[in-house]
Every structure is written in structure tokens, then in C-alpha cells.
Amino acid sequence: MNLPSMNSPLRIANLIKRAGWIALIPCLIVTLGCGAGEPRTSTVVGRVTLDDQPLNAGSILLLSETGDSGGGELNADGTYSLVCKPGSYLAAVMPLAVEVGEDGAPLNPAQSANAMKIPPQYQDVGSSKLTVDVSAGDNTFDVQLVSKPAR
């Protein structure tokens, strides 16, 4: 059996290939994990209501034209907190995914009822007409949803 020597071209090529992959891993982590540009230096807090009542489950999403985003889960009292970069954002309020059992019935009926409460137009940043300008530091953005628009 002929084994390549430590200095053979095949052995050196394999070492270079492995080193390339090993060097690529930290680059991917830095690129994907941190992102480019400004760090997330803004905190946004607020309360989401539907017809003047706190929305007790769901999430809020902020999305900018440049692709920056931020999101937070709603607490039982309708409050939320999220971190994002400063900028102008479109917002959407979405229900949590409803888990169903083997029979197709919701495992948490209250959560299911809440999912049906959020009017569809608020669940998409393109149709919600909700906007917020976020500056560096602390920001407040209260969201007041209505189930039936005024005529």
C-alpha cells in the first residue's frame, strides 16, 4: 500500500482545502450573526390594543425599506419590547401560531380566539398603514388597532 508522503502535493492540497473551510466558518458567523452597518442601539416599547382592549397574545414586527427589522412578542397586558437599529419602519401585528391537537382542535382555545381577533390588514406591513420612526436610545410606539374601520 502506497501512502502519500507528508510533503506530497495531494497531502498539501487536502490540508489547504481543510484550512479554507475552517477559515470560512468564523467569517460566516461574523457575517450572519452581526450583520453590517449600525448595531441595534434602539429599544422600542409599547402596548398593542384592539378596540381599546389589550391584545394579550401575538407579536409585532418592524421592517424597514433597507431590510432592517425588529420584533417582539406581546405580553398578557398587550405590552412588548424589542431592539432594532434606528430608522423608519413599517409595522405589522401578527397572531401567534395556533397549535392544534390530533383531532384538529386548538390546544389553547384562548390563543386560537385571539388569533382570529387581529384584522387581516394589520398582519402585513404592506397593508397595515402602521409606521414608526425609531431614533437611537429608548422609543415608545403604542399601537391602537380597530376591528372595523370608521366610515
One pLDDT digit (tens) per residue for the chain, 151 residues: 555 555 555 544 444 444 443 444 443 333 333 345 567 789 999 999 999 999 988 999 999 999 999 999 999 999 999 999 999 999 999 988 777 788 877 777 766 665 668 899 999 999 999 999 999 999 999 999 999 866 6
Task: Report DSSP state, residue 24.
Answer: H
Q: Which CATH class is domain 42-145?
A: mainly beta
User: What pTM, to 2 d.p., does this model score?
Assistant: 0.66
Q: Tell me the HSE value of 101 on the side-chain side, using a 13 A CA sphere.
A: 6
The CA–CA distances, whole Å, from 68 to 5, 131, 142 equal 52, 14, 20
DSSP codes, 27-75: HHHHHHHH-SSS---EEEEEEEEETTEE--S-EEEEE-TTS-EEEEEPP
Structural domain boundaries in the chain? 1-36, 42-145
